[in-house]
């Protein structure tokens, strides 16, 4: 616990209310100790080093941050040392009831610090994060010695990116926090009227280290967009204009897509392709299946259409492996998208539309955008809230087991005899299971294999687990008729031949993400993928 500042607070002392100056406390957990403990867990270091090696084999594709130009430039500074990138995430989380009379009092700024009063008393970034900065410097200059199987390995950690939503990033990086300011973009120096009509990234106006220093020395946030020098510049090999990032979740699913869909739906209603009631009926009655029933979109409110923004939560669909040439295509699509939005809405572009113009270059610098957005970090807000309210302390179990034996009467002996040896001594037959955060249930579909002709799916009939704790799926292979480009889904039919049952460990499948079969109005059955394979 450290004191990061002071604030005025009313205290009741000796029967009187008094206004006192009290300290603001922050709490920090040692990253060095946690990283050391984590990498000494079984197989963690091995998996990390193997992933880095495998990543180096894909010279012509972008599979992770390791393949982007940002990390490649940083890695050169460490020669042959084992160095891993570190992402820092910052956001404010409202603890307790955000609609109650005490909202804002328990807002916690979460990195490694908790700040209960940051909402009412602005603590300077330098004071707030000085201990964090020192630890980041220590991680990069002084190695961590990890002991695995009685062998010691030296690891360094380098700050790769600072993640967060747009307001959080502007705040922690020293950029103006108002998106109505003249220069609100943390990536370029274009003036607000230019940003509102920009279709493509302007290379001439990009921030660089030279013009950054000029703007900082000007000490005029109105004319530069910079409130203060970025505190993370004290960390070696990090600079706010080099280590840039955007937040896909806030920019598109919770930003641009809301505005776009409002225009699209409104126009479809105007030209009488459908009514709002018909659309809402389709939303309610659509077969989302087991995989998506927790993320069903709500009904669309007419007032939201009139306001030009449909209120829905984030959902995304991105590829895991991308060719660098896709960045040029992305730039072209963004340009066309922004032009059409201005044309159809008769309005200037909002800040999140401008941020899209930087995505093509950020894709080349940081790799797949999906790997740097904040949805998994923001999920921790719920955890913090549970801890504060002392509720919801039950832990989700990895496996939910229905019975503890193989259904021998339901499976052919020829199949049982081919099961892995670990199931001969002990086995759990699961009615559902959760593995690495993903829920699996009987009846779901898994991809068995894929090639240029398409995907082959298998229906989950049984799920087993034993000592290895690795899920084993018994699948009934379905027949793929072909890919329907209209529905962007595979048409499939059932295979009733029980002898076609096949068994796979989850790590033997080409993709571990389940999907479901949907029967549409034409009577045909289709399966969709979460992302391209």
Residue 213 pLDDT: 95
**Which tens digits make up the pLDDT trace of 71-127?**
989 988 888 888 999 988 877 554 444 433 333 433 444 453 333 334 434 567 787
356 band by pLDDT with thresholds 50, 70 and 90: confident
Structure tokens at 107: 């807002």
Q: How many domains does the chain have?
A: 3
Closest CA to 533 of 442, 461, 456, 467: 456
Nearest Cα to 83, choosing from 92, 93, 73?
73
> Residues 338, 255: one domain?
yes
Q: How far is CA 502 from CA 99, 446, 474, in A?
A: 52, 12, 6
pTM for this model (two decimals)? 0.64
Pairing mode of beta strands 489-493, 454-465: unpaired
Tokens of 512: 């571990």
Residue 300 sits in the same domain as residue 169: no
Together in a domain, 331 and 258:
yes
In this predicted structure, what is the pLDDT of residue 425? 66
Last residue of a domain, one of 384, 411, 426: 384
If asked whether residues 255 and 350 sit together in one domain, one would say yes
The arithmetic mean of pLDDT across residues 353-377, rounded, is: 79
Please check whether residue 490 lies inside any domain of the structure: yes
Whether residues 360 and 485 fall in one domain = no
Answer yes or no: is pLDDT of 349 > 50.
yes
Give the least confident one: 7-11, 68-72, 299-303: 7-11
Joined together, the tokens standing for residue 41 give 């867990």
Distance CA 500, CA 503 (A): 10
pLDDT digit string, tens, across residues 274-319? 898 988 888 888 777 766 666 677 788 888 787 777 776 654 333 4
- Mean pLDDT (whole number) for 40-57: 84
Res. 520: pLDDT tops 90: no
Question: Rounded mean pLDDT of 15-30?
Answer: 75
CA distance 496 to 477: 9
Does 471 map to a domain? yes
Tokens read off for 170: 């502007």
- Give the integer Cα–Cα distance in Å for 517 and 35: 42
Range of the domain at 460: 399-527
Are 51 and 163 in a shared domain? Answer: yes
Residues 380 and 364 in one domain: no
Place of tokens 């009926």: 281
SS3 66: helix
Torsion, Cα of 58, 60, 64, 67 (10° steps)? 100
Here the CATH number for the domain that contains residue 425 is 2.30.30
Higher pLDDT, 449 or 7: 449
What is the reported pLDDT for 438?
A: 87
Do 236 and 272 sit in the same domain of this protein?
Answer: no
Asked if the structure places residue 390 within a domain, the reply is no
Structure tokens at 195: 């940003």
Instruction: For residues 490 and 480, give the distance between their C-alpha atoms in angstroms, rounded to a whole number.
Output: 7
- pLDDT-wise least confident of 160-164, 413-417, 478-482: 413-417
Instruction: Report if residue 211 sits inside a domain.
Output: no
Q: Count other C-beta atoms under 10 Å from residue 491's C-beta.
A: 18
36, with CB counted inside 10 A (0-12, 13-18, 19+), is middle
Residue 206 lies in a domain: no
Mean pLDDT over 502-523 rounds to 89
Do both 119 and 252 map to the same domain? no
* Mean pLDDT score across all residues of the chain: 79
Query: CB-based burial of residue 172 (10 Å sphere; 0-12 exposed, 13-18 middle, 19+ buried)?
Result: buried
* 379 contacts 275 by C-beta, under 8 angstroms: no
Output the six-digit token pair for 80: 């042959």
Residues 226 and 301 in one domain: no
In a domain, 344, yes or no: yes
Residues 238 and 94 in one domain: yes
pLDDT at 217 (0 to 100) = 94
278: burial class by Cβ within 10 Å (0-12, 13-18, 19+)?
exposed
Q: Quick check: 238 pLDDT over 90?
A: yes
Most trustworthy range by pLDDT among 80-84, 115-119, 196-200, 322-326: 196-200
Give the whole-angstrom CA distance, residue 513 versus residue 290: 12
Cα-only R_g, the chain? 26
207 falls within a domain: no
Same domain, 335 and 416: no
Query: Is residue 141, in this structure, part of any structural domain at all?
Result: yes
pLDDT tens sequence across 250-278: 788 778 888 888 888 888 889 988 898 98
> Confidence band (pLDDT; 50, 70, 90) for 377?
low
């Amino acid at each position: 616990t450290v004191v990061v500042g002071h604030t005025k607070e009313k205290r009741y002392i000796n029967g009187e209310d008094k206004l006192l100056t009290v300290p603001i406390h922050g709490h920090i957990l040692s990253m060095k100790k946690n990283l050391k403990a984590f990498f000494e867990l079984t197989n963690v270091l091995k998996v990390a080093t193997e992933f880095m090696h495998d990543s180096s084999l894909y010279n012509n594709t972008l599979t992770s941050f390791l393949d982007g130009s940002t990390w490649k430039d940083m890695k050169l500074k460490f020669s042959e040392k084992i160095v891993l990138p570190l992402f820092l995430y910052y956001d404010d989380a409202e603890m307790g009831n955000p609609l109650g009379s005490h909202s804002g009092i328990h807002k916690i700024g979460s990195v490694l610090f908790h700040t209960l009063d940051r909402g009412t008393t602005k603590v300077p970034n330098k004071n707030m994060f000085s201990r964090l900065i020192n630890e980041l410097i220590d991680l990069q200059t002084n190695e961590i010695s990890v002991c695995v199987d009685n062998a010691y390995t030296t690891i360094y950690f380098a700050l790769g990116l600072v993640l967060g939503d747009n307001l959080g990033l502007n705040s922690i990086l020293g950029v103006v926090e108002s998106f109505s300011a003249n220069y609100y973009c943390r990536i370029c120096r274009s003036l607000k009227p230019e940003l509102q009509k920009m279709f493509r990234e302007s290379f001439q106006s990009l921030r660089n280290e030279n013009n950054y220093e000029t703007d900082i020395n000007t000490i005029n946030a109105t004319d530069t967009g910079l409130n203060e020098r970025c505190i993370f510049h004290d960390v070696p090999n990090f600079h706010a204009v080099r280590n840039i990032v955007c937040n896909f979740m806030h920019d598109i699913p919770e930003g641009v897509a809301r505005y776009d869909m409002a225009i699209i739906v409104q126009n479809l209603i105007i030209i009488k392709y459908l009514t709002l009631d018909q659309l809402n009926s389709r939303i309610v009655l659509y077969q989302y299946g087991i995989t998506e029933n927790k993320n069903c979109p709500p009904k669309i409110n007419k007032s939201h259409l009139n306001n030009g923004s449909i209120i829905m939560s984030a959902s995304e669909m991105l590829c895991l492996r991308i060719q660098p040439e896709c960045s040029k295509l992305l730039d072209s699509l963004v340009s066309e998208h922004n032009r059409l939005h201005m044309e159809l809405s008769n309005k200037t572009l909002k800040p999140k539309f401008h941020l899209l113009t930087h995505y093509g270059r950020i894709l080349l610098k940081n790799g797949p955008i999906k790997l740097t957005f904040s949805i998994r970090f923001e999920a921790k807000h719920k955890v913090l809230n549970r801890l504060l309210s002392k509720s919801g302390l039950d832990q989700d179990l990895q496996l939910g087991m229905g019975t503890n034996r193989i259904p021998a009467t339901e499976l052919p002996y020829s199949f049982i005899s081919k099961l892995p040896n670990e199931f001969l001594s002990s086995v759990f037959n699961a009615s559902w299971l959760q593995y690495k955060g993903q829920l699996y249930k009987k009846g779901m579909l898994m991809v068995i294999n894929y090639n240029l002709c398409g995907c082959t799916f298998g229906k989950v009939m049984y799920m087993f687990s034993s000592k290895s704790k690795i899920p084993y799926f018994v699948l009934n292979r379905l027949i793929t008729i072909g890919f329907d480009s209209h529905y962007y889904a595979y048409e499939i039919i059932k295979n009733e031949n029980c002898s076609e049952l096949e068994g796979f460990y989850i790590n033997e499948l080409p993709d571990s993400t389940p999907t479901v079969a949907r029967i549409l109005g034409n009577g045909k059955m289709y399966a969709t993928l979460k992302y391209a394979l």
